[in-house]
Structure 1
Amino acid sequence: MKIINPEDIPLAFQAAWNHHDMTAFADLFCEDATFVNRFGHYVQGVQEIVALHVPIHETIYSDSTLVNELINLAYITDDVVISHFWSRLTAGVAHPVGPHQIDTLILVVLTRQNHLWRIRALESVTLTNPHTGQTILRDT
């Protein structure tokens, strides 16, 4: 998928996830991108990012879906943008705890190379109650 506009990233990420298409997922990232998942696991490089996701898409998230919603875009330069978007994961029966939902706030740094936007860095934070640690869903 060729991302022409930074605002397309959340929906492209959602589509790749929902189709469990790791080729489309990989195409969202720069070769040397970094990724921090909601558990604080850090990886660098598109191959490592895909390697982190393949096993979960084959098992616990094989029937999961995402719904992403763009919050904002902040242009640093014409070729660098910071974006935030909400992501609601709906896990299905394949997950060990069964069907449930989780909201995360995703921050991405996007860069444009050869007229195409790619994710250079992504970090995801799960919404939790700071007093109990329990996950919470945002008001939509």
Structure 2
Amino acid sequence: MTVLTPADFPRAFADAWHSRDGQRIGALFAKDADFVNVTGLWWRNRADIAQAHDYALKSFFAQTTLKPGVITTRQLGPDHAVVHCRFHLSGQLAPDGAPAGDRVTILVFVLHRTSDGWQAVTAQNTDVVPGKETHLNAGTLKAVDYRDR
């Protein structure tokens, strides 16, 4: 899949997501790319990125819709860019198979231009937790807002 501009990358990622084929997601990444998911799992090459997404897209993300929202791009020269995209995810299944609530995430992609278009060299996904400032580990990790004190 050829990505013509950095701003096209989030749509290409969502299209690959909707194919339910982890190899299509992997193809968007450089061979030695890495990806950190919302829980801190860190995949360190295209094959691992593809395998992890393939598993998720065929199980708890099998019925999801991933919609890109606000996209910003910052060129770091003619062949490198940083792209941020706010995504809306719906249709995730809970561990018991019940529907889970919708989520909003921000994915950050660092891209480089290749002869085949733009590819990600790294990506990091962060859940958006409205109204919270940080996480607190008091036996159980939970989002908190210190301004409420």
State the TM-score, normalizing by the size of structure 2: 0.82
Q: 1:27: how far off?
A: 1.4
Match of 2:71 in 1: 71
Q: Is the 8 A contact 2:22 2:55 kept in 1?
A: no
Name the residue aligned to 2:11: 11
2:143 aligns with 133
Match in the other structure for 1:27: 27
Tell whether the 8 Å contact from 2:109 to 2:120 is kept in structure 1 after alignment.
Answer: yes
1:10/1:70 contact within 8 Å kept: no
Q: Give secondary structure in 1 for the equivalent of 2:143.
A: coil
- 1:117 matched to 2:127: no
Q: CA deviation at 1:55?
A: 1.6
Instruction: Provide structure 2 residue ranges, at least 5 long, that are not aligned to the other structure.
Output: 135-141, 145-149
* 1:39 paired to 2:39: yes
Q: For each residue in 1:44-84, what CA deviation from the matched residue of structure 2 results, as whole angstroms up to 9, or x when unmatched?
A: 11001112112211211111110012421111110000110
Secondary structure of 2:99's match?
A: coil
Structure 2 distance, partners of 1:116, 1:4, is 6
| Runs of 4+ with deviation above 6 angstroms | none
1:39-118 matched pairs, under 5 angstroms: 39-92=39-92, 94-96=93-95, 97-118=98-119
Q: Number of paired residues?
A: 133
Q: What is the deviation of 1:115?
A: 5.0
Identical columns (%): 23
In 2, distance between residues paired with 1:7 and 1:25? 17
Look up the SS of the partner of 1:77 in the other structure: coil
**Secondary structure in structure 2 of the residue aligned to 1:100:** coil
Which one has a bigger Cα radius of gyration? 2
CA drift at 1:9: 0.5
**TM-score, normalised to structure 1's length?**
0.86
Mark the runs of 5 or more structure 1 residues left unpaired by the alignment: 135-140
